[in-house]
Chains A and B, each alone.
Chain A
């Protein structure tokens, strides 16, 4: 009897220990995930000449400095333009391709689906070098277009994947109902399919844009002096000696990303789309 109670006490103690350990570990991992970004944001407010965290005094001087560096603003603009155009092209190509992938049962189409998603698996640094050598072999020079198209390749899988997932979840009977009531294929597409897959396409587009906006390794091989993107610019600001203005622009980027993620989170179940 007493032995049984002791065993039960020990069991209870072990269960509590397990739960407490799990909670502590989860908390530590959350801090580990968020901490570094918070450190950069904090450090950007430093009043000192060098980067410091905790910041030495509080000032906005490094944010003012952003406006004084035209090449930094130029790089921000270039990243927005490259990411924007690449995302639009990826949405056009990717959404169109997702339809047959979801609906046509043919070995050839399945194989194409694997090819469309495969840029996710190819190390971006290998692809960047491949495009550089390819353009050179073809006698073409690096250009804005060459950079944008390379970004399309690396972001298109996100659009294809999310659109495909949404199409698979679509109930075919709704379309059948629309068709049997006399709607043309176009009407079915515009009024039935598109509204239901729009959140997924938007998520894919957001992932695509952020991936392009963040990309350094492909751009590294393909940017020229006039097509320098933001990651390349930030990288050169911190590669040898740290310019605190890099922290300020990083803080701005991190805050904008935060707003995008909050907006997205309201529209779709991010965990499902990001993990599949």
Chain B
């Protein structure tokens, strides 16, 4: 290969490496040092983290964030898997449309899609209009600014990023496996449950951890759909950094968020890797 032989080509990584060192790794290092430094200066300690976990309000916020992440990820998973399965097993034309339907929202602005839920769930929104129109309720009910509304909106906003990895994993399964199962007497449902689903597990895990990480770091959707009193870690970070100008607390919360997101993703990748390599090992 032309580039391997010259050896000079490896220096092509230098510009990007330099840029990211100065404008990505260095800022993150400063963020970490801020979280380790007592407010007003002094030696680096874990004191900020200790006081974070001693404050019931902050711990509650962290807990709400993680719970929201788990709940939305599970809901997303349950609706993404059948959709991806149908897309992966349907004819090329249908499949193309379904992928298009998945990608379009992914590339449409998150602000726009969160805004849509404000329009749908608002006092004069679609759902309230429909319910009053059907005579089910007399006056508009409060749908917006609740945890459920945030959950629904987050599921919609992140659904494409669950569908795509699951679809990829399902595509990689040899279709003759399911055909073999069915010709040996398994129903399509059993073939899906016992063959496709377990084999797609690495993709399902990858999609789930990504979804969880994105949900716990989401700011736009909770801020717009959750309203002023809804609190999750990203909202807390933004408010403490810009409204109360407490950069120490904002940095501490950021580091907790970052570590949680990274830990879940890396654990998930490790698990997915273990499952697929274990399988290859078993197959010889």
Q: Mark A117-154, 1 if CB is under 8 A from B, else 0.
A: 00101111111011111100100000000000110110
Q: Which residue of B lies closest to A251 (CB)?
A: B112
- The answer to whether B119 and A125 touch across the interface, beta carbons within 8 angstroms, is no
Residue from A51, A112, A129 whose CB has the most chain B CB atoms within 10 Å? A129
- Residue of B126, B167, B224, B250 near A275 (CB, 8 A) is B167
**With contact pairs A14-B187, A129-B237, A239-B224 given, residues A179 and B2 touching in the complex (Cβ less than 8 Å):** yes
Q: Which of A18, A149, A152, A216 contacts B188 (CB 8 A)?
A: A18
Is the beta-carbon distance between B16 and A131 smaller than 8 angstroms? no
> Is B62 an interface residue, CB under 8 A from the partner?
no
**Chain A residues in 8 Å Cβ range of B15:** 92-93, 96-97
Interface pair B2/A175, CB less than 8 Å apart: yes
Cβ-defined contact, B101 with A30, below 8 A = yes
Q: Inside 8 A of B188's CB, which chain A residues have their CB?
A: 15, 18-19
With A15-B188, A100-B13 as contacts: A130 and B111 at CB distance below 8 Å: no
The stretch of B18-26, B43-51, B135-143, B271-279 in contact with A is B18-26
C-alpha gap A245/B11 in the complex (Å): 49
Instruction: Please tell me if the beta carbons of B104 and A37 are within 8 angstroms of each other in the complex.
Output: yes
Interface residues in B1-60 by Cβ distance below 8 A to A read 1-4, 6, 9-13, 15-17, 19-20, 23-28, 30-31, 34
The answer to whether B115 and A29 have CB atoms under 8 Å apart is no
Give CA–CA (A55, B34) in the complex, Å: 49
B267 at the interface (CB under 8 A from A): no
Contact of A34 with B by CB under 8 A: yes
A235–B222 CA distance with the chains assembled, in angstroms:
13
What's the interface size class on A, roughly? 35 or more
Chain B residues near A99 (CB, 8 Å)? 3, 9, 12
B96, B106, B237: the one within 8 Å of A125 (CB): B237
Say yes or no: A185 contacts B6, CB within 8 Å.
Answer: yes
* Chain B hits for A115, CB < 8 A: 17, 20, 25
Chain B residues contacting A112 (CB-CB under 8 Å) are 13, 17
Q: Given the interface contacts A50-B124, A210-B107, A276-B168, does A133 sit within 8 Å of B251 by beta carbon?
A: yes
Contact A261 B104 (CB under 8 A): yes
Most chain A beta-carbon neighbours within 10 Å: one of B16, B99, B111, B187: B16
Let me know if B241 and A216 touch, CB within 8 A.
Answer: no
Q: Tell whether, in the assembled complex, residue B16 and residue A129 are in contact, meaning their CB atoms are under 8 Å apart.
A: no
- Per-residue contact bits, chain B 105-122, to A (CB 8 Å; 1 contact, 0 not): 111111111011111101
Tell me the A29-72 residues at the B interface (CB within 8 Å): 29-30, 32-37, 39-40, 43, 50-54
Cβ A34 vs Cβ B105 within 8 A: yes
Contact B24 A121 (CB under 8 A): no
Whether the Cβ atoms of A149 and B23 lie closer than 8 Å is: yes
With an 8 A cutoff between CB atoms, is A204 at the interface? no
Q: Is the CB of A103 within 8 A of B31?
A: no
Q: B131 contacts the other chain (Cβ, under 8 Å)? A: no
Do the beta carbons of A257 and B224 come within 8 Å of each other? no
Majority DSSP secondary structure for residues of B touching A: helix
Contact with A along B146-190 (1 / 0, CB 8 A): 000000000010011000110110000000000000000001110
CA distance A246 to B116 in the complex (A): 11
Complex CA distance for A60 and B5, rounded to whole angstroms? 62
Q: Is the CB of A257 within 8 A of B103?
A: no
A194 contacts the other chain (CB 8 A): no
**A130 and B30: CB pair below 8 A?**
yes
User: Are A53's CB and B10's CB within 8 A?
Assistant: no
* A22–B110 alpha-carbon span in the complex (Å): 28
Residue B204 CB within 8 A of the other chain: no
Q: A260 is contacted by which of B107, B160, B164 (Cβ under 8 Å)?
A: B107
Q: Is the CB of A37 within 8 A of B165?
A: no
Taking a contact as CB atoms under 8 Å apart, the answer to whether A29 and B159 are in contact is: yes
Q: Could you say which residues of chain A place their CB within 8 Å of the CB of B168?
A: 271-272, 275-276
A44 to B107, CA, bound (A): 20
Within 8 Å CB of B107, what residues of A?
Answer: 207, 210, 257, 260-261
Given A101-B13, A213-B109, A231-B109, residue A123 in contact with residue B120 (CB < 8 A): no
A20 and B223 alpha carbons, distance in the complex (Å): 38
Which residue of the partner chain B has the closest CB to A250? Answer: B112
How distant is B57 from chain A, measured CB to nearest CB, in Å? 19
Binding site for B on A (CB under 8 A): 11, 14-15, 18-19, 21-23, 25-26, 29-30, 32-37, 39-40, 43, 50-54, 92-94, 96-97, 99-101, 103-104, 106, 109, 112, 115-116, 119, 121-127, 129-134, 137, 149-150, 152-153, 156, 160, 172, 175-176, 178-179, 185, 188, 207, 210, 213-214, 216-217, 220-221, 231, 234-235, 238-239, 242, 246-247, 250, 253-254, 257-258, 260-261, 265, 270-272, 274-276
Q: List 17 A-B contacts (CB under 8 A).
A: A23-B86, A29-B83, A30-B101, A32-B79, A53-B119, A94-B16, A121-B262, A123-B257, A123-B258, A129-B237, A131-B27, A156-B20, A216-B111, A220-B219, A247-B119, A250-B109, A274-B106
